[in-house]
Amino acid sequence: MPRITFIEPGGLRRVIDAPIGITLMEAAVQNGVQGILALCGGACACGTCHVYVDANWLPKLGPREEMEEGMLECAREPRDNSRLSCQIHVTADLEGLEVTIPKQQGAN
């Protein structure tokens, strides 16, 4: 299982062995990683699983789709390396991936 590091809003590094096929969001939520709420469960409808991806990893994740793009544009503190973790599936290629969770999630 690829090893993924989530940096929680408080700075704590949570290292998770994530099963291939599930999403980054699911790996975080099931393990109680703080700061990823994922209220819609991965429907790209809430904007509460926002993460910042280490820039070196962005190309490996593929582009953001239109719905995700729109969600992120109006999310809190969007950056060029913003992604919704529910839209990223865990693959063997993601071994060592590191993502940072923003302090606040959602639109309001």
Partner 1 sequence: MISTIVVVGGGQAGAQAVDTLRREGFAGRLLLICDEPALPYQRPPLSKRYLSGELTAERLPFRHRAFYEEHRVELRLGLPAVALDPRGRRLELADGEALSYDRLLLCLGAAARRLTCPGTDLPGLHYLRTVADVMLIRAAIKPGSHVVMIGGGYIGLEAAATCRQMGCEVTVLELADRVMNRVVAPCVSEFFAREHRAQGIRILCNTRVTRLEGTGRIERVVCADGSEVAADAVIVGVGAVPTTALASDAGLACDDGIIVDEYCRTQDDAIFAAGDCTNHPSPRFGRRVRIESVDNAFEQAKTAALNLLDRKIAHDRVPWFWSDQFDSKLLIAGLSLDYDQQVLRGDPASRSFSVCYLKGRELIAVEAINHSKDYMAARKLIAERAQMNPAKLADPNLALKEAVGNTQTGS
User: What stretches of the chain show up as alpha helix (H) in DSSP?
Assistant: 24-30, 58-61, 66-73
Residues 18-37 contacting partner 1, CB under 8 A: 22, 26, 29-32, 34, 37
- Answer for which of 1, 43, 55, 60 binds partner 1 (CB under 8 A) is 43
Could you give the C-alpha distances from 31 to 24, 35, 50, 106, in angstroms and in order? 11, 12, 17, 20
Q: Decide if 18 contacts 2 (C-beta within 8 A).
A: yes
Q: H-helix or E-strand containing 98?
A: strand 98-100
CA-closest candidate to residue 106, choices 68, 65, 72: 72
- Answer for which of 12, 20, 45, 55 binds partner 1 (CB under 8 A) is 45
Measured from the CB atom, the residue of 34 and 56 that comes closer to partner 1 is: 34
- What mask of x and - would describe binding to partner 1 in positions 48 to 67, judged by CB under 8 A? ------------------xx
- Which residue shows structure tokens 């991965």? 42
- What mask of x and - would describe binding to partner 1 in positions 68 to 87, judged by CB under 8 A? xxxx-xxx------------
- Give the residues lining the site for partner 1 (CB under 8 A): 22, 26, 29-32, 34, 37, 39-41, 43-47, 66-71, 73-75, 106-108
